[in-house]
Structure 1
Amino acid sequence: MSTTPGPATDGEIPAYLAAVGLAGLVDIHVHFLPEPMLRKVWAFFDEAGVRYGVPWPITYRFDEPTRLRVARRLGMRVIPALTYPHKPGMATWLNEWCREFADRVPDAVHCATLYPEPGVGDYVAAAVTAGARLFKVHLQVGEFAADDALLDPAWAVLAEHRVPVVLHGGSAPAPGRHTGPDGVGRLLGRHPGLVLVIAHLGMPEYHAFADLAERYPGVHLDTTMAGTDFADRFAPLPAGYRQRLLALGDRVVLGSDFPNIPYPYAHQLQALARLDLGDEWMRRVLWTNGARLLRLGAD
């Protein structure tokens, strides 16, 4: 098992992809947001030194057209627009913005989100009918439990249609009232057919979320920030975890958090390559698994 060294700079990404036999990347964890909301997110991360004790400079702080050009140049063949509400009534207008984004950006992935509120099942069903292929749920920002009973109708729709959901359930970079694997485990007990993509490999509860991936065939893990020098400062991969990633190779998916990352995009690919799990594992993570989840080429 050999692993091609990862790219040291963004400019080296095309040569790296060619070396491992890929024409591009499927990154499932990318944020495009309404501009006023994005500015608030960036302002939040600008205070990360106070909030988390770790500076978090935004590497790709550009306007939307520039960010789209950069994403394509980095090798993204499709571009998700993950959004997440933090209060009632917010998900519906975010879903409308996501639909409009998908209409005007040819290579966009039509995304949607949800919040525990009356009618959530109806607007999730409407988003799926309209073509949403990827949902985002952020338990930390939204401050709600994955197994909140209000969400049951929405989860039922998503399980029935096998629509993947990128779910931030781990307790990094700071724990929330509803973070951690327990609520997600209860959710899966009620809706075992869900296709959940656990963001950040579930950091720092890596092993507990890997347990859920082993127990439920629809559970995947996305690599966002995992193994980077930045994340290793507060949530390093634990002993024995590398072999679990190898065993779960068909359900590990590339994620990055672009554009809201404090290092060059290439560093995420470099961090994965230095796990030394082989080029075939890298091909599955960087392309095959994400393409399957998003049904690329299936339409």
Structure 2
Amino acid sequence: MEEGEGVKSSNQPDIRLSSPFSWRGESFPPILDSESPDHLSRIRDLGIPYIFDIHTHFFPETVMKLIWRWFDNVNWAIGYRLPEKERVERLHHNGIKRFTTLNYAHKVGMASSLNDWTYANYKNWEGAIPFGTFYPEEGVLSYVKQAVDEYKFQGFKLHCEVSKLNLNHPELAETFLYLLEKQIPILIHTGTAPLPGEFTGIQFFKPFLETYPTLKIIVAHMGAHEISAYASLLSAYPNLALDTTMVFVDFLATGKIEEVDAAVSYLETYQDQIYFGSDFPNIPYNLNHPITKILDLPISDLAKQKILYKNAENLFFK
């Protein structure tokens, strides 16, 4: 399939049927064929001017295609396999006017070049909030300082599973202390879903959090498959937060039904520490699906306002 083609057409089988990851219900939400952002009127009724997506990915084209190839191998349909410009248009089309530029490194020497690429391109993506990344290697503090001081990046992304990254690695200590001093947030994929890694899970995350208790941290996917364990830390650590990426959706790669259902109450209880995330463009359904699922949850309008918009606004612009 070439870049720019849709994932599914009327005469094309749905590869999601043979995915190793399970789904809730008997039918799958659509992919692009019938994209209709009917949630826009609903968010306007809630007084939400636009949606702030804390978890969207931007990689150089060659890297992005390699990532999509991995997803293809497990029949994880990429809903937005589109050229970069069209992907940004899809975000805007769905009312997502601000979004992050998440990427991550999986080997030495990669992180700095990703930061350079993001800096060179993010101004072409209207509404983008530039995020960098880093890796345990020589010179890591130097290029992180460059990303903050020169590039004016507003956050960083780490992926403990893909990067085989131990958050407690001593080579990263100075970098974490620097980001703590600057109060720069870090969005971390530390949970064991959809697949566990050598250094994923609460047993690695908790000692890291105890070492840097006031560091601004956003845990991707609410820490799935250990949502309750991560949520239990929120009261004691006010600078800790979770994002909803691929949690309250019909695709259960990042949560079991009972785990996801039990997590709904956390959105109300910890409404100031929850951010909406989509994982765009690597999602096997339309963007309106995760948004609508949040809107349909039995939580207060105020909680929905904070999760979909206000919390991220306060994090970056307060």
Question: TM-score scaled to structure 1, two decimals?
Answer: 0.90
Deviations 1:41-91 (A, max 9, x none): 11111112xxxxxx3101111001111111111112223210100001100
1:4 match: none
**Aligned partner of 1:275 among 271, 277, 297:** 297
1:64 match: 84
1:13 match: 39
Distance in 2, matches of 1:17 and 1:37, equals 34
The one-letter amino acid of 2:71's match is: F
**Aligned partner of 1:40 among 66, 89, 113:** 66
| Structure-to-structure mapping, 1:55-134, within 5 angstroms | 55-130=75-150, 131-134=152-155
| Structure-to-structure mapping, 1:1-299, within 5 angstroms | 10-48=36-74, 55-130=75-150, 131-231=152-252, 235-238=256-259, 240-295=262-317, 298=318
The one-letter amino acid of 1:34's match is: P
Is the contact between residue 227 and residue 237 of structure 1 (CA under 8 Å) also seen in structure 2? Answer: no
Larger helix percent:
1
Q: CA deviation at 1:232?
A: 6.9
Structure 1: 4+ residue segments shifted above 4 A: none
Q: CA deviation at 1:241?
A: 2.8
Question: TM-score scaled to structure 2, two decimals?
Answer: 0.85
Distance in 2, matches of 1:79 and 1:101, equals 14
Taking only the aligned residue pairs, the percentage that are identical comes to: 32
Is the contact between residue 247 and residue 255 of structure 2 (CA under 8 Å) also seen in structure 1? Answer: no
Q: CA RMSD in A?
A: 1.7
Residue 162 of structure 2: SS of its match in structure 1? Answer: helix
Equivalent residue pairs, number: 283
Query: Which structure is richer in relative contact order (CA contacts within 8 A, separation 6 or more)?
Result: 1
Distance in 2, matches of 1:102 and 1:74, equals 19
More displaced 10-residue stretch of structure 1: 234-243 or 274-283: 234-243
2:31 match: none
Distance in 1, matches of 2:238 and 2:53, equals 21
The one-letter amino acid of 2:53's match is: D
Distance in 2, matches of 1:74 and 1:245, equals 22
Distance in 1, matches of 2:113 and 2:254, equals 37
Residue 221 of structure 1: SS of its match in structure 2? Answer: strand
